[in-house]
Amino acid sequence: MKQIKIHNKFIGKNNPCFTIAEAGANHEGNLKKALKLIDAAVLGNADSIKFQTYKAAKLATKTAPKYWKDKKKNESQFDVFKKLDGLTNSDWKKIFNYAKKKKIICFSTPFDEESANLLHSLGAPAFKIASADITHIPLIEHVAKKKLPIFISTGMASLNEIKEAINTIEKQGNKKIIIMHCITSYPTKSEDANLEMIQTLSNKFPNYPIGFSDHTLGTNIAVYSTFYGSCCIEKHFTYNKNLKTSPDHRLSLDSNDFKKLKLELNDAEISKGVSKRKNFDSESEAVKYARRSIVTNKNISMDELITKEKIAIKRPGIGISPKFLKKVIGMKAKINLDNDQPIQWKDLK
């Protein structure tokens, strides 16, 4: 598996799980809110913050139905996205400069070629291809030519569609790819998370790190994904869950949630251990005192014959191992032994 470097972080096996605070359009088209999202991501210890860069007019027709459920009727995708696309090129420059000042990795998902060009000009260290655009081969090709790392989400996609997208990137001489398992359902139910797919993607694309773009509520499923091999976690993110304009606020973690996620991911990482049993310092006392050994069942005099009735198998395990019981029976005591005393080989002859 390749290790993909994003700015000063590595993504891949034997590296800490890379975290993306997916701010998306939770800035609601407002620069001040975008900067607040950066501050919140820093506070939440996220490795990176990611936005979405688009213009509604280039993204959807004015009558395109929504593919998510909410309480707002008679509203198209265009209507929703138009409320969120108010950031200017100057605003985006300020966002990237602010993230640099705050020392957090900042990148975005471009939904058209012009947006990709803008992000590239602002020094974005990576791109994200949304699940909905995995079949948008012209956009993928355009982004791949920038030769930057690409996160590509696989929601709704068949293996053949994923292969076609990956091949498109590779044909541009770009092999800096992180494949993100994803379920395009908001929110995703636990029973729909399908984490086994992470291992399938690992087997089908062994050269690339596999991550998880998670739309379930809370942090549990994201953490579980690391046991299936996920090297990267993306979670929707907001600084205020009570905001309403963007439909993603209701799915999002805030700073405290993200801190919790980071701690849980660290616990998951350190608890994995290794594939072979090894000796742990934490078990050393248990090895001595929880296991059993052969002990005397009465006072035994020097030169006295050891019989089964004169010994027992008890804790602690600091004497002769129970597996040598038959060998001990029939030997003689080399010294006087007290009752209830663990027997050592040096005590016998």
Q: Which of 228, 252, 272 is the last residue of a domain?
A: 272
Say if residue 260 is in the same domain as residue 174.
yes
Say if residue 233 is in the same domain as residue 326.
no
Q: What share of the chain is helix, strand, coil (3-state, %, to 5)?
A: 40, 20, 45
Q: Which of 272, 298, 314 is the last residue of a domain?
A: 272
Whether the per-residue pLDDT at 267 is higher than 90: the answer is yes
- Which CATH number characterizes residue 337's domain? 3.90.1210.10
Buried-state track 187-207, b at ≥16 Cβ within 10 A, e below 16:
bbeeeebebebbeebbeebee
Whose tokens are 């590595």? That residue is 10
Dump pLDDT digits (tens) for 165-180. 999 999 999 999 999 9
Q: Give the pairing of strands 48-53 and 293-296.
A: unpaired
Say if residue 238 is in the same domain as residue 294.
no
SS3 283: helix
Smallest CA-to-CA distance from 195 within 205, 185, 207, 181 is with 181
On whether residue 261 sits in a domain, the answer given is yes
Choose between 130 and 278: higher pLDDT. Answer: 130
Q: Give start and end residues of each alpha helix (H) in the chain.
A: 31-43, 56-59, 77-82, 89-101, 113-121, 137-144, 159-171, 196-204, 220-225, 255-272, 284-289, 325-328
SS3 227: helix
pLDDT of residue 262: 97
The total number of structural domains that make up the chain: 2
On whether residue 120 sits in a domain, the answer given is yes
Choose between 245 and 111: higher pLDDT. Answer: 111
Say if residue 91 is in the same domain as residue 238.
yes
SS3 165: helix
Dump pLDDT digits (tens) for 47-86. 999 999 999 999 999 999 988 888 788 899 999 999 999 9
Across the range 239-264, mean pLDDT stands at 93
Say if residue 26 is in the same domain as residue 90.
yes
- What is the DSSP code (8-state) at residue 16? P
- Which CATH number characterizes residue 64's domain? 3.20.20.70
Dump pLDDT digits (tens) for 98-133. 999 999 999 999 999 999 999 999 999 999 999 999
Domain that includes residue 157, residue range: 16-272
